[in-house]
């Protein structure tokens, strides 16, 4: 069996209606790449990635046997397609190519972005109704996290939890004090990347000062020695290549340490991630693929969680089927770009703050310190709305000021 061809397709995927407003303002329309790998035996394997691999990487798979890519270390997206082909050829689900099955249902979380408290509450309601029990978001100092949490707590069903991601700090908050505040809410579930990545000693101390699990994603030593040093309660591997994820899973299993995968994509990615989580002994924490945020896909199978768990497919390969019509439709889809817009914030004392938002620098929404303008806090008495270009002289004037000054801080609208 040899790979004879790999189709490479760039698609645009629309957001689910109820969450489209905030996601468009953060990121604009999203694209990803679909790989359709063909063999000389007539099998078709699927993979996907957020960006397109180079032609050199794609060509490295052509003419090879998919089984040569067991434990693939070159490309998560193309490696996924290879495992799909291997499973189909052997007549087994992918997890059997990785190891023993440790669970038939795997925990999965949902995802959103930091926005107004009422929209955060809506996200909890939407995801809870769809069978999720965890929701993750990156905190933003343009919103007060305590007010967000209180709004979410009011509507959350019992057992629903929030996964707070602090994006490696970046504010002037005393983090232990802030975590203690959040711990007081039943909805609070865990804290990810609370400190700068390299502060291993700080993470070890933090574990002793908070009662909720500390999750480490951006591991400074590649999830190796910091694991043995006890830096976190739970670890996250983000977009790790398959071979690397398998090796790290062995390390976590040896220490009895829970971990999770975060591989963002559609239902192809979710299927592969589910298969891996099923075979990893301590893969017991909720994984993320974020495919719940998009309203369309290129495969027919779109499993939904039940009480926070996804069923693991027993079909050969990934258990997903290409929908050619959907692939063509999403290849041709053109969505309007999100232009620059203005973050309009008001503090409780009446002070107003204006910042220019740009989807080309989406990190600014959660780490505004990248622009070196002024220190901020996740617990400031602040509210923010999104000011799109409304054609008014006021908007045009503020846009000019922001492009000149960077940030406008004023006791009045001027």
- pLDDT tens-digit series, residues 229-267: 999 999 999 999 999 999 999 999 999 999 999 999 999
- Do 43 and 110 lie in one domain? The reply is no
Specify the 3-state DSSP secondary structure of 206: helix
Is 229 found in the same domain as 145?
yes
Q: What are φ and ψ of residue 294, in 5° steps?
A: -110, 150
């061809």: which residue's tokens?
5
C-alpha span between 131 and 110 (Å, rounded): 10
Closest C-alpha to 301, from 319, 314, 328? 319
Q: Write down the pLDDT at residue 413.
A: 52
- Asked whether residue 183 is domain-assigned, the answer is yes
- Residues 354/402, Cβ–Cβ less than 8 Å: yes
The CATH code of the domain that includes 61 is 3.30.390.10
Residue 139: the pLDDT is 99
Contacts (Cβ under 8 Å, ≥6 apart) of 231:
200, 203, 204, 216, 219
- Mark whether 312 and 185 lie in a shared domain: yes
Average pLDDT score over residue span 184-207: 98
Query: Is there a domain that residue 63 lies in?
Result: yes
**Statement to judge: residues 149 and 57 lie in one domain:** no
Residue 326 covered by a domain: no
Which range of 220-229, 276-285, 404-413 scores highest in mean pLDDT? It is 276-285
Query: What's the mean pLDDT in 265-284?
Result: 99
Q: What is the DSSP string of 242-296?
A: HHHHHHHHHHHHHHT--EEEE--SSHHHHHHHHHHHHHSTT--SPBB--GGGBS-
Span 293-309, pLDDT tens digits: 999 999 999 999 999 99
Same domain, 123 and 247: yes
Residue 334 falls inside a structural domain:
no
> Is residue 363's pLDDT more than 60?
yes
Confidence of residue 129 (pLDDT cuts 50, 70, 90): very high
Q: pLDDT tens digits for 57-100?
A: 999 999 999 999 999 999 999 999 999 999 999 999 999 999 99
- The answer to the question of residue 330 being in a domain is no
Name the domain boundary from 93, 126, 142.
93
Q: 408: Cβ–Cβ under 8 A, 6 or more apart, which residues?
A: 352, 353, 354, 355, 398, 401, 402
Q: What is the pLDDT of residue 412?
A: 64
Using the 3D structure, point to which of 69, 93, 117 is the last residue of a domain: 93
Do 18 and 156 fall into the same domain? no
Mean pLDDT of the chain: 98
What number is the average pLDDT over the span 283-296? 98
Residues 149 and 275 in one domain: yes
Torsion angle (degrees, nearest 10) of CA 367, 373, 377, 381: -120
**Confidence (pLDDT) at 28:** 97
14 DSSP 8-state letter: P
Query: Can you tell me the mean pLDDT for 211-215?
Result: 98
245 and 357 co-located in one domain: no
Asked, for residue 353, whether it belongs to a domain, the answer is yes
For residue 197, what pLDDT is reported? 94
User: What angle, rounded to 10 degrees, do the helices at 242-255 and 76-90 form?
Assistant: 80
CATH number of the domain bearing residue 301 = 3.20.20.120
- Residue 249 domain flag: yes
Residue ending a domain, choose from 262, 282, 317: 317
Residue 109 sits in the same domain as residue 89: no
- Domain encompassing residue 376: 341-410
Residues 224 and 288 in one domain: yes
Single pTM value for the model: 0.96
Count of CA atoms in the C-beta half-sphere (13 A) of 230: 5
Do residues 144 and 263 both lie within one domain?
A: yes
The helix, strand and coil proportions of the chain, stated in percent and rounded to the nearest 5, come to 35, 25, 40
414 has pLDDT over 80: no
pLDDT band at residue 327, thresholds of 50, 70 and 90? very high
- Cα atoms in the 13 Å half-sphere on the side-chain side of 62: 11
- Domain count across the chain: 3
Whether residue 227 sits in one domain with residue 192: yes
| Percent of the chain predicted with pLDDT > 70 | 99
The tokens describing 375, both together, are 């220190």
Q: Would you say residue 275 has pLDDT above 60?
A: yes
Tokens of 42: 């007539």
394 in any annotated domain: yes
87 within 8 A of 316, measured Cβ to Cβ:
yes
């Amino acid at each position: 069996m040899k790979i004879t061809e790999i189709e490479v397709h760039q698609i645009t995927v629309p957001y689910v209606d109820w969450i489209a407003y905030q996601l468009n303002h953060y990121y604009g329309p999203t694209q990803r790449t679909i790989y359709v790998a063909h063999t000389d035996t007539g099998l078709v394997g699927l993979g996907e990635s957020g960006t397109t691999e180079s032609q050199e990487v794609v060509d490295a798979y052509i003419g090879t046997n998919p089984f040569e890519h067991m434990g693939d270390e070159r490309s998560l997206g193309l490696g996924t397609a290879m495992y799909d082909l291997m499973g189909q050829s052997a007549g087994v689900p992918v997890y059997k190519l990785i190891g023993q099955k440790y669970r038939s249902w795997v925990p999965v979380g949902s995802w959103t972005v930091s926005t107004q408290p009422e929209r955060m509450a809506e996200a909890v309601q939407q995801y809870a109704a769809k069978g999720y029990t965890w929701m993750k978001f990156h905190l933003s100092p343009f919103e007060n996290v305590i007010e967000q949490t209180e709004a979410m707590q009011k509507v959350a069903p019992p057992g629903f939890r929030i996964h707070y991601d602090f994006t490696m700090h970046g504010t002037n908050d005393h983090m232990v004090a802030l975590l203690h505040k959040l711990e007081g809410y039943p909805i609070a579930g865990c804290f990810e990347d609370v400190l700068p990545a390299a502060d291993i000693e700080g993470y070890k101390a933090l574990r002793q000062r908070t009662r909720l699990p500390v999750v480490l994603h951006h591991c400074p030593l590649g999830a190796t020695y910091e694991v043995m040093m006890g830096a976190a309660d739970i670890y996250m591997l983000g977009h790790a290549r398959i071979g690397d994820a398998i090796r790290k899973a062995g390390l976590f299993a040896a220490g009895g340490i829970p971990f999770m995968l975060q591989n963002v994509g559609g239902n192809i990615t979710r299927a592969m991630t589910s298969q891996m989580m099923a075979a990893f002994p301590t893969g017991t924490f909720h994984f993320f693929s974020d495919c719940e945020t998009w309203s369309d896909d290129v495969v027919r199978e779109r499993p939904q969680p039940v009480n926070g768990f996804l069923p693991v497919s027993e079909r050969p390969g990934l258990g997903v089927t290409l929908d050619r019509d959907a692939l063509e439709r999403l290849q041709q889809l053109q969505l309007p770009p999100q232009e620059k817009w203005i973050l309009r914030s008001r503090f409780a004392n009446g002070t107003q703050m204006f910042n220019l938002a740009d989807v080309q620098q989406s990190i600014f929404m959660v780490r505004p310190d990248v622009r070196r303008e002024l220190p901020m806090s996740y617990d400031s008495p602040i509210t923010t709305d999104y000011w799109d270009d409304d054609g008014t002289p006021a908007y045009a004037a503020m846009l000019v000021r922001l492009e000149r000054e960077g940030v406008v801080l004023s006791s009045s609208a001027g």
